[in-house]
């Protein structure tokens, strides 16, 4: 009898906690950014600065929420009984000055009344859609992309980190020694590498897979992955094809994964974020409620020099303006899918107003690791812009191996200059700038690198430091070091010949700033400058 009474009391307490003030819901709360001036000599990393600035901006709201988080209020009208705490959980998204809060509805007005709060929205459930084409017809166009020649030249993406936000990744031999770090952001309690859908594994193998069945799977097999599992399926009901299309993620979970990409090891003083982040997912609408939050997240990626690559989407059969968010953002590189020499029917397209996609890659029947209908993990074909996007992401990784200091504008320009125009002349709403020829892209990266490093300026020292610090001094790296030293000598000699000593003094000041991390290299170059100056003074009469 006492057991039943306890159960009844537990039920009544639970009922009261649920309805006193309303059910708990998840919200995204954005606050004004507080600028934090940098003091002279500030040695913090960019990530540390962003994190500190975000935490400063959130401090006032965080204090309010923490105060309510575990507080139990007393109902003073009538019998004394506990009511539910107003705040159940908080999660800081410092990189976009946002807190995700799970709280009662009747507490929202209190949150909105805070002077720093500028926006509050429900944490919307985002339904995502993946294409899965089982057509068994063969595809031959663009098979010979020049990739094998690049791999023969040891251009394999070595040393480049690629981020992946997707459905997870399988614990499979295909990814042995290829994953730097993995984290789960779904509601699943499984922390090990899993991928119930198989989509993330298919994408990841396209990025870094080795040769299998005499086919080269990955475009950048020596790149390393940083993997976030943020997308999961709604249910297991229905056919596998239907289940694969019915996947979801809360906006906050994707944003949390986007933040984690900036600091995977949770040490802001280490530079461990990826150069490129592949996103083979997208919203099912062009203007989601959380658009502003994602715009801020992508802007922060761009601020740090990260290249965001997004699949165009698989709604091409709906016609123009079928490229949805975030792929319709001009802050990302958007990739459509080819079938042979033509655009795949499913590949989303832009319009005269929406200048997207940016480029196209093969996305029809792409051979990679997959989870078959039986649940078996094997190699097979899948289609979608999800398959085209990692091809371009991996190509950019090859570009970064050749020139580690490329910026977004350079990457975009080099891809554009090296693309085969497949549609109307110039840019068009189906193909963008066309199909980037992998071999030509890398050739143009090399030409661009020579032009940048021949100046003998501060930029040259950056490359000189990079190559000199490489543990493995390949023949190509040794040649690069010799050529860079020559460019210094030519630059200095030209300055002295023109009697422009002020330029040399200015150059030495800038070089000194860059040289703090590489004192030995700096001393070597300084000695070289001194010798050239001394030799030059014989002819110029300067002392």
Q: Which of 322, 389, 127, 349 is nearest to 244 (CA)?
A: 127
What is d(CA 98, CA 32) in angstroms, rounded to the nearest whole number? 9
What is d(CA 213, CA 205) in angstroms, rounded to the nearest whole number? 14
DSSP string for residues in 232-264: EES-S-S-HHHHHH-EEEEHHHHHHHHHHTT-T
- How much is the pLDDT for 43? 78
CATH topology assigned to domain 127-450: Rossmann fold (3.40.50)
The sign of the CA dihedral 156, 204, 289, 326 is: positive
What is d(CA 278, CA 375) in angstroms, rounded to the nearest whole number? 25
- How much is the pLDDT for 494? 67
- Distances, alpha carbon 205 to alpha carbons 101, 261, 353, 378, 462, in Å: 36, 19, 35, 12, 33
Cβ proximity of 454 and 485 under 8 Å: no
Q: Which of 195, 180, 393, 181 is nearest to 280 (CA)?
A: 393
What is d(CA 187, CA 22) in angstroms, rounded to the nearest whole number? 23
- How much is the pLDDT for 139? 45
- How much is the pLDDT for 529? 66
**Do strands 24-31 and 117-122 pair parallel, antiparallel, or not at all (unpaired)?**
antiparallel
- How much is the pLDDT for 22? 59
- How much is the pLDDT for 208? 97
The sign of the CA dihedral 404, 406, 412, 416 is: negative
Element counts in the chain: helices (H) and strands (E)? 15, 21
| Element at 108 (helix H, strand E) | helix 108-112
Cβ proximity of 126 and 254 under 8 Å: yes
What is d(CA 179, CA 273) in angstroms, rounded to the nearest whole number? 13
What is d(CA 466, CA 402) in angstroms, rounded to the nearest whole number? 12
> pLDDT digits over 166-209, tens only?
999 999 999 999 999 999 999 888 878 999 989 999 999 999 99
Parts of the chain with a pLDDT under 70: 1-22, 38-41, 72-83, 127-144, 234-246, 373-374, 455-458, 488, 491-522, 524-526, 528-543
Bond before 326 cis per omega within 30 degrees: yes
DSSP string for residues in 440-468: HHHHHHHHHHHHHHTT-SHHHHHHHHHHH
What is d(CA 331, CA 325) in angstroms, rounded to the nearest whole number? 11
Q: What are the residue boundaries of the structural domains of the chain, listed by start?
A: 2-123, 127-450, 454-540
- How much is the pLDDT for 471? 74
For the chain, helix, strand, coil in percent to 5 are 40, 20, 40
**Do strands 359-362 and 377-382 pair parallel, antiparallel, or not at all (unpaired)?**
unpaired
Whole-structure pTM value: 0.85
DSSP string for residues in 389-439: HHHHHHHHHHHHHH-TT--HHHHHHHHHHTEE--SSSS-BTTTBT-EE-HH
Environment class of 237 (CB within 10 Å of its CB; exposed 0-12, middle 13-18, buried 19+) = exposed
- Distances, alpha carbon 433 to alpha carbons 312, 343, 390, 427, in Å: 14, 13, 18, 5
């Amino acid at each position: 009898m006492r057991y039943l009474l306890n159960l009844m009391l537990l039920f009544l307490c639970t009922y009261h906690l649920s309805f006193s003030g309303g059910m708990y819901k998840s919200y995204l709360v954005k606050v004004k950014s507080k600028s934090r001036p940098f003091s002279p000599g500030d040695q913090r990393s960019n990530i540390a600065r962003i994190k500190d600035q975000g935490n400063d901006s959130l401090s006032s709201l965080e204090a309010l929420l923490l105060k309510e988080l575990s507080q139990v209020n007393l109902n003073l009208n009538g019998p004394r009984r506990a009511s539910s705490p107003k705040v159940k959980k908080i999660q800081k998204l410092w990189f976009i000055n946002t807190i995700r809060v799970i709280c009662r509805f009747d507490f929202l007005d209190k949150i909105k009344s805070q002077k720093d709060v500028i926006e509050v929205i429900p944490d919307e459930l985002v339904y995502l859609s993946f294409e899965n084409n089982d057509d068994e017809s063969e595809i031959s166009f663009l098979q010979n992309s020049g990739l094998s020649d690049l791999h023969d030249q040891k251009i394999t993406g070595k040393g480049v980190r690629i981020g992946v936000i997707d459905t997870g990744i399988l614990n499979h031999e295909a990814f042995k020694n290829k994953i730097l770090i993995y984290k789960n952001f779904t509601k699943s309690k499984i922390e090990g590498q899993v991928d119930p859908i198989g989509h993330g594994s298919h994408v990841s193998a396209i990025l870094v897979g080795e040769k299998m069945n005499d086919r080269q799977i990955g475009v950048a097999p020596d790149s390393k992955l940083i993997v976030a599992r943020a997308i999961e399926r709604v249910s297991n009901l229905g056919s596998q094809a239907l289940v694969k299309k019915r996947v979801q993620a809360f906006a906050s979970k994707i944003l949390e994964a986007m933040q984690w990409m900036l600091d995977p090891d949770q040490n802001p003083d280490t530079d461990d974020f990826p150069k490129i982040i592949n996103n083979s997912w997208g919203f099912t609408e062009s203007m989601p409620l959380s658009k502003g939050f994602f715009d801020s997240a992508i802007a922060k990626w761009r601020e740090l020099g990260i290249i965001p690559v997004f699949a165009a989407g698989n709604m091409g059969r709906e016609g123009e303006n079928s490229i949805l968010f975030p792929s319709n953002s001009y802050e990302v590189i958007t990739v459509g899918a080819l079938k042979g020499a033509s655009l795949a029917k499913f590949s989303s397209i832009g319009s005269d107003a929406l200048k997207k996609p940016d480029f196209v890659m093969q996305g029809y029947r792409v051979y990679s690791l997959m989870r078959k209908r039986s649940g078996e993990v094997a190699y097979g074909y899948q289609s979608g812009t999800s398959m085209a996007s990692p091809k371009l992401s991996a190509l950019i990784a090859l570009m970064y191996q050749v020139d580690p200091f490329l910026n977004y504008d350079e990457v975009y320009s080099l891809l554009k200059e090296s693309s085969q125009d497949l549609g109307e002349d110039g840019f068009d709403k189906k193909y963008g700038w066309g199909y980037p020829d992998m071999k030509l892209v890398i050739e143009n990266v090399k030409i661009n690198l020579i032009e940048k490093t021949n100046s003998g300026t501060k930029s040259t020292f950056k490359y000189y430091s990079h190559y000199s610090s490489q543990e493995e001094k390949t023949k190509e790296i040794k040649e690069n070091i010799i050529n860079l030293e020559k460019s210094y000598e030519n630059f200095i000699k030209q300055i002295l010949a023109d009697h422009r000593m002020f330029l040399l003094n200015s150059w030495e000041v800038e070089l000194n700033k860059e040289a703090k991390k590489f004192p030995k290299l700096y001393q070597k170059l300084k000695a070289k400058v001194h010798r050239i100056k001394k030799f030059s003074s014989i002819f110029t009469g300067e002392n």
